[in-house]
Amino acid sequence: MPPENVWLGPSTSIALSMAIHDNRPYTQALIDGHPATLVIDTGVVDTMVDPAALDDTNETKVSLQIGELRFPKLPFVRIGVRAYAERELGAPADGIIGRDLLARYAVQLDFPGHQMTVLRDAHAMSPPAQGAVTLPLRLLGGVPAIAASLDGQQSRWFALATGTNGQVALEPSRGRMAMLGRNEHSIPYQDVSIAGANGGLLVRARTLNVGGLTFNQPLVALLDRGRFGGNDITGSLGATLLSGVNLTIDEPSSTATIVAPPGATLARFYEPSGIGLEMRHGTILVRNVVPGTPADEHLRPGDEIVSINGLAPATLDFARSLLDGNPGTKASIVYRRWHMTHSVILTLHVIV
């Protein structure tokens, strides 16, 4: 059952600005009447709240308001959202919401326009934009899923998960390699979510077909540990893929609509520097280094990033953008290890 909620005022829709950090959508809200920041993760069933955002650390239900939509007594999971969001996404958040928001209303996440719209009913929805693809939506284990196919194989159900890393991920299964065409190259893959670390391999498929849309050469993570625990979900479409489109999830009408602007379906590079970053206590650190890359010869997990190309990045988003360039681009990195400062010039290249 959808959670108890109250729509305040006569409006038929709520439009909110949406910030993007590490491809995840953030929006503003009220928790127990206090200003708060939420990550919108469409792949999450239970709302999560950081203990520091609560008036009473013993409470089991919280008052949460997004624009004119209020959930007066919303059950939640108490978990360290702030530490996770700052460390991995580069911007703090007080909570994560998904299914509780989607269960009763259509929600449009316009990533290119940085806007989230909650629609009170079908009459509030604008006609589909030119080029829009509307697909049947199923609810599998409480998670919205659509049919998609890799490399022209049979369509399977993929969860829409705006809070998970990467473009495409496949759950552990015996037959998952048969979904991909011939692939001769893979690299170790590491993903850190609020549920913990997950490993696997990263490969590049030829195509991902979603309705009438074709995403070229998507990166596919073959996970060691499943994210969704069965429920007929083969895999997930993650934040890196979905952050390029305008996505409407209309669970009451059992449809999803995707509008892909120019460039959204093109291939993307993966960590061309070979360096994964995280932030701890305001300091940007090396989280992992892809084995066999030039960075592997110089940097180690735990190294502190001092500057990149002469700039001292204050945010994780900015640091990652400085290391995200075309193959052949040089990146000059100054880093600190055990109070000693070192420097290295890396050449960005195609890793996978």
Report CA 153 to chain centroid distance, whole Å: 25
Query: For the domain 275-347, what is the CATH superfamily, name and number?
Result: PDZ domain (2.30.42.10)
Distance of CA 187 to the CA centre of its chain: 21
pLDDT band at 151 (very low <50, low <70, confident <90, very high): very high
Beta-ladder partners of 28: 37
If pLDDT is split at 50, 70 and 90, which confidence band does 17 have?
Answer: very high
Question: What percent of the chain is predicted at pLDDT more than 70?
Answer: 95
Task: Enter the pTM of the model.
Answer: 0.93
Amino acid identity, position 58: N
Q: Does domain 6-119 have CATH number 2.40.70.10?
A: yes
Considering only the top CATH level, what class is 127-241?
A: mainly beta
pLDDT above 70 (res 123): no
Within this chain, domains 6-119 and 127-241 share the same CATH topology: yes
Neighbours of 120 (CB within 10 A): 18
Q: Is 351 left (phi over 0), alpha (psi -120 to 50) or beta?
A: alpha
- Cα–Cα distance for residue pair 301/279, rounded to 1 Å: 12
CA distance 49 to 51: 6
pLDDT at 271: 79
10 Å CB burial of residue 330 (0-12, 13-18, 19+) is: exposed
Supply φ then ψ for residue 34, to 5 degrees: -105, 145
Query: What is the rounded end-to-end Cα distance, in angstroms, of the chain?
Result: 43
Weakest mean pLDDT among 33-47, 118-132, 246-260, 302-316: 118-132
Q: Residue 230's pLDDT is what? A: 65
CA distances to 55, 116, 180, 252, 351 from 101, in Å: 22, 12, 34, 12, 38
- Which pLDDT does position 265 carry in this prediction? 93
Residue 27 has pLDDT above 70, yes or no: yes
pLDDT bracket for residue 227 (50, 70, 90): confident
Query: What is the tally of helices (H) and strands (E) in the chain?
Result: 4, 30
| Cross-strand bridge partners of residue 148 | 156
What digits encode the pLDDT tens for the residues 175-210?
A: 676 667 555 688 888 888 898 889 999 999 999 999
d(CA 78, CA 57) in angstroms, rounded, equals 9
> Which sequence spans correspond to the domains of the chain?
6-119, 127-241, 275-347
- DSSP type of residue 272: T
What is the C-alpha separation between 318 and 71, in angstroms, rounded? Answer: 35
Between the CA of residue 250 and those of 103, 107, 122, what are the distances in Å?
Answer: 9, 6, 9
